[in-house]
Amino acid sequence: MRKIQIMTDSASDISAADEKQHNIAVIPFPVTLGGKSYTSRVDFDNEGFYALLAEHDDVPTTSQVTPFQFVDIYLQQARAGVTDLILVLINSKGSSTYDNSVQAIRLFHEDYPEYPDFRVHSFDGMGYNACYGAPVVEAAKMLEAGAGV
């Protein structure tokens, strides 16, 4: 039997409640604001981010998730018994995160041939924040209702 995991990044702005209730894995982004580095969903939640924005005049910057970080994520998921990882990631026009996820699929299978049945289905969210976060929650609900990949 296939084990499916849905995953997105923290820019999707899904709530912590939806993350927990629907078993959605969220990849945190590193954020720099006011000369200080933070990790989203670790150092602040969605509301905390907006509070930080109000405290600073500069524009926050983020870093993309690297291919090597994705390989680590894939390995963690494969070791947990996941057979199909569905990724929905931030707009590829504004971040290299999606492209890095695709590149990492090949790297993962080269480095870990012992997981030949592990499949990654990576999707460009083609948007920012809830524009792609809401469909992630809906996909998780579909999975709960018995839908497959």
Q: What is the pLDDT of residues 125-141, one digit of tens each?
A: 998 888 999 999 999 99
CB–CB of 131/125 below 8 Å? Answer: yes
Evaluated on CA atoms 130, 135, 139, 144, the torsion sign reads: positive
Q: Which domains does the chain have, with CATH numbers?
A: 4-27+64-144 (3.40.50.10440)
- What's residue 52's pLDDT? 86
Q: Which two tokens stand for residue 122?
A: 């990576």
Angle between helices 97-111 and 67-79 (to 10 degrees): 60
**Class of residue 88 by CB neighbours under 10 A (exposed 0-12, middle 13-18, buried 19+):** buried
* Position 33 pLDDT exceeds 90: no
CB–CB of 128/11 below 8 Å? Answer: yes
CB–CB of 82/1 below 8 Å? Answer: no
Q: Which two tokens stand for residue 77?
A: 């998921």
* Position 31 pLDDT exceeds 90: no
pTM to 2 decimals?
0.89
Please give the backbone phi and psi of residue 107, each rounded to the nearest 5 degrees, phi first: -60, -45
- What's residue 17's pLDDT? 95
Q: What is the pLDDT of residues 67-126, one digit of tens each?
A: 999 999 999 999 999 999 999 999 999 899 999 999 999 999 999 999 999 999 999 999
Amino acid identity, position 108: F
Q: How many other CB atoms sit within 10 Å of the CB of residue 32?
A: 14
- E-strand spans in 30-80? 30-33, 36-39, 61-62
Euclidean distance between CA atoms 68 and 56, whole angstroms? 32
pLDDT category of residue 34 using cuts at 50, 70 and 90: confident
- What's residue 94's pLDDT? 87
